[in-house]
Structure 1
Amino acid sequence: MSSSQCFENPPNLSSTCGEGRVEELAGLKAYVTGPSDSKLAVILIADVFGYEAPKLRKLADKVASAGFLVVVPDFYYGDPVVDPSNPNFSREAWLKTHSPDKGYEDAKPVIAALKSKGMSAIGVAGFCWGGMVLVKLAGTEDIQAAVILHPGHITEDEIKAVKIPTAILGAENDHIFPAEELIKFREIMSAKTEFESYVKIFPGVRHGWSVRYNDDDESAIKSAEEAQEDLLNWFLKHVK
């Protein structure tokens, strides 16, 4: 399949989408892209729609083009959310099987595997569910930098526990994580002077805008690209 076919509407979620390859890492399938001899890695933790999402892989390729080895693990073991509006889909049952706590435990051997391959610095970006996993990782010193995009349900205590340079990119119109909560998090993060952090609220966008935008909406594309540039610039600054 050509790369262009990966971005059809509706998209074809073939595992051959993107410029990279699918391989096994720490017991998980993962989309891997970028220079294999790089000593700098970035992990992207997908939202509930999974590691095969074409626009997420497109972002992975974009980050890889800056010199990072980028890994997008399948933390859902081939069971992403396909249609949340399906009356037979149970969000509670899915989250019981795929909890952020389990994602956190699964992420640790991925990080260890990258370090065993010679990675000297690792950054992680998490989208929604992925942000719920990432905030736990950011409370350790196993990684060097974090970017949380349109967060899922994360707590003030988790934010207070963050130990590494962290950026939070949120939506003005977010039914899952309202802008008012982001403002609270900005206050908490700004009090942490031992490392750099920031919280940015994107106007006029909704939850998921950075990787689930409408290809026919120029404004949506522009907002997504701005968030992606912020993500990349954060890693260029802090993962080195």
Structure 2
Amino acid sequence: MPPPIRLPQRAPVPPVAFTPRSVRACSSLRSLSSASRPLGSSNLLNSPSKYIPPTPRHLQIGTMSTMEATNGHSKACCNVPPVVSSDYVAKGSYSELGGLKTYATGPENATKGIVIISDIFGYSDQALQGADILATSHRQQHKAFIPDWFDGSPCPSEWFPPDTEQKQKDLGEWFGKHMPQGPATALPEYVAALKAANPSIESWALVGFCWGGKVAEIITSGESPFAIAATCHPAMIDPSGAEEISVPYMLLASGEDPAEDVKKFESNLKVPHHVETFADQVHGWMAARADLSDSHIRDEYARGYKTVLDFFEKHWL
């Protein structure tokens, strides 16, 4: 685990209004959200996130009404609730880039940029903290960007666990409206806008979490604006998709992800790669489902990000 990074206290990011613009081939995007959310604690790796409270582990899957896998998402993805936190003070800021509300963090003179595709819960504290780690906690500094593909309407945490028919219906409809093919098709135009706004950046990487992992698989198949990609507890793992991936690729799986699919995916990769399973972690441990008040989960969260950065250092030339 890298040493803790201490951040100075800073005021919450003020609301930002956005003028909606169409994004090519991503028709599900609606008018952009007009406000960013308040942020909290100043310690990047060691401050536990305050949460309200997570569903006990024994209630998450298997001992109550649960939702079967839907729209290609695993049962864990459809049932494990996020850990709600509200006290992390992010290092970056929000603006409109390429027609999308975007969180940006990292040095302005960075020569390498990372586009992060979040899980279905969007701008969680854990996602913002992860972006800050990717940007500033390694000897190679990066500038990281999280676009809002959900147009201010991420999947509501109140739907988890989906223990009623109405929650299951709502969740299934949400997944149906937010297919990863839309962002994958729109990403080249978005990256072009990032390049125009950040001329010092010479090369781009992609990191995808859960839902965003499928986006990463699609966009790195064949010609891609990205030189390298990493996926963390990716959704909809398709071993056949690995055959077309054209850039160095990482897959970090949880113990709840389909082990056989992960194994087949690795065997089908034809590019430099690293595939690893964090066997005692839940699906989503590097994003919104990370309970950072638990010291072991916090350590594995940090180790996951260090693994991504080490892979990038080795293969991002």
Q: TM-score, normalised by structure 1?
A: 0.88
Is 1:39 the counterpart of 2:81 in the alignment? Answer: no
Which whole-Å deviations, capped at 9, do the CAs of 1:21-41 have from their partners, x for residues lacking one?
001111000100011121210
Counterpart code for 1:204: D
Counterpart code for 2:295: E
The structure where strand makes up a greater share of residues is: 1
Is 1:221 the counterpart of 2:298 in the alignment? Answer: yes
Given the superposition, is the C-alpha separation of residues 108 and 91 from structure 1 closer, same or farther in structure 2, using an over 3 Å criterion? farther
**Contact 1:213–1:224 (Cα < 8 Å) also in 2:** yes
SS of 1:93's equivalent in the other structure is: helix
Is 1:206 the counterpart of 2:247 in the alignment? Answer: no
The structure where helix makes up a greater share of residues is: 1
Is 1:77 the counterpart of 2:151 in the alignment? Answer: yes
Instruction: Give me the whole-angstrom Cα distance separating, in 1, the residues matched to 2:300 and 2:195.
Output: 33
Q: Of 14, 19, 38, which residue of structure 1 is paired with 2:91? A: 19
Q: Of 50, 54, 59, which residue of structure 2 is paired with 1:8? A: 50
Counterpart code for 2:228: A
| Offset of residue 17 of structure 1 | 4.6
User: Which residue of structure 1 aligns with residue 272 of structure 2?
Assistant: 196
Which aligned runs of 4 or more in structure 1 are off by greater than 6 angstroms?
Answer: none
SS of 1:152's equivalent in the other structure is: coil
SS of 1:204's equivalent in the other structure is: coil
Q: Of 163, 166, 179, which residue of structure 1 is paired with 2:259? A: 179
The Cα RMSD (Å) is 2.1
User: Which residue of structure 2 aligns with residue 59 of structure 1?
Assistant: 130
**Contact 2:220–2:245 (Cα < 8 Å) also in 1:** yes
Instruction: Give me the whole-angstrom Cα distance separating, in 2, the residues matched to 1:17 and 1:107.
Output: 28
SS of 1:55's equivalent in the other structure is: helix
Query: Could you tell which deviates more after superposition, 201-210 or 161-170?
Result: 201-210
Counterpart code for 2:213: G
**Contact 1:40–1:239 (Cα < 8 Å) also in 2:** no
Equivalent runs, 1:99-118 vs 2, <5 Å: 99-116=179-196, 117-118=198-199
Equivalent runs, 1:128-167 vs 2, <5 Å: 128-139=210-221, 140-167=223-250
User: Which residue of structure 1 aligns with residue 177 of structure 2?
Assistant: 97
Instruction: Give me the whole-angstrom Cα distance separating, in 1, the residues matched to 2:246 and 2:86.
Output: 36
The number of aligned residues is 231
| Offset of residue 98 of structure 1 | 1.2
**Contact 1:122–1:239 (Cα < 8 Å) also in 2:** no
SS of 2:274's equivalent in the other structure is: strand
SS of 2:281's equivalent in the other structure is: strand
SS of 2:156's equivalent in the other structure is: coil
Instruction: Give me the whole-angstrom Cα distance separating, in 2, the residues matched to 1:3 and 1:206.
Output: 24
| Offset of residue 61 of structure 1 | 0.9
Counterpart code for 1:200: E
| Offset of residue 238 of structure 1 | 3.2
Larger Rg: 2
Counterpart code for 1:54: D
Counterpart code for 1:112: A
Which whole-Å deviations, capped at 9, do the CAs of 1:55-75 have from their partners, x for residues lacking one?
111111111113101001101
User: Which residue of structure 2 aligns with residue 124 of structure 1?
Assistant: 206
Which whole-Å deviations, capped at 9, do the CAs of 1:78-132 have from their partners, x for residues lacking one?
1101123354442221122211011212322221122333221111110010001
Percent of pairs with identical residues: 26
Instruction: Give me the whole-angstrom Cα distance separating, in 1, the residues matched to 2:109 and 2:301.
Output: 29
SS of 2:184's equivalent in the other structure is: helix
Unaligned runs of 5+ in 2: 1-11, 13-38, 44-48, 53-83
**Contact 1:147–1:166 (Cα < 8 Å) also in 2:** yes
**Contact 1:146–1:166 (Cα < 8 Å) also in 2:** yes
**Contact 1:3–1:19 (Cα < 8 Å) also in 2:** no
